[in-house]
Amino acid sequence: MSLLRAEDLTVDFPTLRAVDGASFEVEAGDALGIVGESGSGKTMTLRALVGLLPRTARVSGGTVEIDGVDVTRASPERRRELRGRTVSMIFQEPMTALNPVMRVGAQIAEAPLVRLGYSGRRARERALDLMRLVGIPDPARRASAYPHELSGGMRQRVVIAIALSAEPKLILCDEPTTALDVTIQDQILKLLGSLQQELGVALVFVSHDLAVIAQTCSRVAVMYAGQVVETGTVDAVFREPHHPYTLGLLRSVPDFELVREHLSAIPGSPPDLAALPSGCRFHPRCFLAQDDCALTAVPLFQLGGGRAARCLYHQRCAADARREPVIAGV
């Protein structure tokens, strides 16, 4: 049984549909990347998995199962039990995720106290052990610091320690390195990778950065305008994409080994979710688009080997990718 299974997940706001029928699975110890431009629905998908949607949003269809529990039908109390104990979340900006008037050691110790029933002394020891695990130097001193007294990289390490504090099986990562410089970003990504290997924790990693997904994940789901448009292993999808949007994303990554007069870019802009184009949602920006692409909604074609693509001309897209390899940039 999969640790996480989302099937036809749909998230609605009063005037638009932010996520439209997203489906994917994550096995224990696996790492899934969800990638796409801003507004593609990836963060709403992540938040829907644990019931942390904005007040005006709701899961209007589909199911989400985490460790055998149907989260979409569970009571608020049952969802709270799952959060922290089975699944935890690392947010994009640590300064908004941390309590500014609470010492970081106490914040890390809170889940062992409340979720695991540890004594105060044992919870503090657990917090210090986790601080060492995530690479925070001099943890006994740093535990007494407030978030504003730490650097951005140290704060993100504290957030990771909190995410690990109740020994979860699954960690959801919402672009956790976006606000960090590239050196600290690389350190955090390597840390998450090593923790996954050592502790067997599964990851769902949301990012707009293909290089980050390539470094941290084994499988990827590409989202566009609220829909999953391609899935598969990172190696297979990045080497031979079957959806023109995925191909466009890969070709837009700068490749410093090639001298180009202009960077490649996907023409146009993502559609307004409240006024979507007919047929394939990507067809107004697609170099492969034909008349039939605008006529009817395109299903997610199963291609075998765990791969799928939402494109009528996925074979032509793959052939184009083979003529001009795109993996070098990521």
In this prediction, residue 325 carries a pLDDT of 67
Q: How many CB atoms lie under 10 A from the CB of residue 101? A: 8
175 with 321, same domain: the answer is no
Q: Give the position of tokens 């007069």.
A: 261
Instruction: Please check whether residue 46 is in contact with residue 53, taking contact to mean a CB–CB distance below 8 angstroms.
Output: no
Task: Record the tokens describing residue 124, joined without a space.
Answer: 């503090």
Residue 226 within any structural domain of the chain: no
Based on the fold, state whether residues 169 and 20 are members of the same structural domain: yes
Q: Is residue 17 part of a domain?
A: yes
> Are 244 and 112 contained in the same domain?
no
- 98 lies in some domain: yes
Let me know if residue 228 belongs to a domain.
no
Q: Other CB atoms closer than 10 Å to residue 263's CB: what's the count?
A: 10
315 in the same domain as 192: no
Residue ranges making up the domain that contains 296: 240-329
Place of tokens 């690389």: 186
In a domain, 194, yes or no: yes
Say if 96 falls within a structural domain: yes
Copy the structure tokens of residue 98. Answer: 């941390």
- The stretches in the chain having pLDDT less than 50 are none
- Beta-strand runs (E) in the chain: 4-12, 17-26, 31-35, 58-66, 69-70, 87-90, 170-174, 202-207, 219-224, 227-233, 301-304, 307-309
Q: How far apart are CA 226 and CA 62, in angstroms?
A: 14
Q: Tell me the one-letter amino acid at 188.
A: I
Q: Are residues 36 and 117 in the same domain?
A: yes
Q: Answer with the one of 160, 188, 221 that is the final residue of a domain.
A: 221
Contact 197, 184 (CB under 8 A): no
Q: How many domains does one find in the chain?
A: 2
For the stretch 164-223, pLDDT in tens is 898 899 999 998 887 678 888 888 888 888 888 888 899 999 998 898 899 899 999 999
Asked whether residue 207 falls in the same domain as residue 262, the answer is no
Find residue 35's DSSP bridge partners: 207, 222
| pLDDT, tens only, 290-304 | 999 999 999 999 999
| Residue 189 and residue 217 share a domain | yes
Tell me: do 169 and 119 sit in the same domain.
yes
Q: Which helix (H) or strand (E) holds 45?
A: helix 42-49
Structure tokens at 46: 């992540």
Task: Please tell me whether residues 286 and 323 are part of one structural domain.
Answer: yes
Q: Which of 221, 251, 284 is the last residue of a domain?
A: 221
Q: Which of 169, 191, 221 is the last residue of a domain?
A: 221
Burial of 316 (0-12, 13-18, 19+ CB in 10 A): middle
**215 and 250 within one domain:** no
Same domain flag for 202 and 135? yes
Residues 142 and 205 in one domain: yes
Query: 17-26 and 4-12 as β-strands: parallel, antiparallel, unpaired?
Result: antiparallel
Q: Examine residue 118 and state whether it is found in any structural domain, yes or no.
A: yes
Residue 178: the pLDDT is 75
Answer whether residue 235 is part of any domain. no
